[in-house]
Amino acid sequence: MKFVGENIIDDIIEELEELSEDQYQQKMEAFSEAQPVLFAWLFSEHFDLLNEDEQGYLQYLALIAWNAIVKENGVLEAVSEDQIGEAEEKNYEILEQSAGKNFRDRLNPFFENTDQEDLVAFAEEAVLEDEDDPESLVTKEGREPIFIALKTMIDALSEL
């Protein structure tokens, strides 16, 4: 997969912000049709630990990442359940072995073996944006599953 730079991610965010609700829904439908297994996983009970706002945020972030990847690489074949499972397992192992003092430090190993630093940085910033704000959209408990979900998605799509 070709490198997806920060400028592409920013362009996608701007595009999505300008869409009407119907147009946004069409983007989500295109995502679900192109990546049915990945889309179903993101909307599954697997993420029931997240509150409703966090679930919606994860889906929005996944839409940004998917659109950025497609913009740079063209349409990719659909990922399988096995690809998602393997990538997710590997990512949780990396997180468990990480010895960082705080969550941001624990994410450092994810940058070591990736060709998609900007997408991983996007995921990191998305979950840590307001980390010191008690009113933050992402709770302390939600950071890990949201980051791992986005990293898993990036990894699964990168393997294609």
Give the pLDDT mean for 66-84.
96
Secondary structure (3-state) at 103? helix
Confidence label for 21 from pLDDT (cuts 50, 70 and 90): very high
Which helix (H) or strand (E) segment is 124 a member of? helix 117-128
Confidence label for 122 from pLDDT (cuts 50, 70 and 90): very high
Instruction: State the pLDDT at residue 131.
Output: 66
Confidence label for 53 from pLDDT (cuts 50, 70 and 90): very high
Q: Which single residue is written with the structure tokens 């944006």? A: 129
Contact residues for 118 (Cβ-Cβ < 8 A; gap 6+) = 3, 4, 5, 6, 9
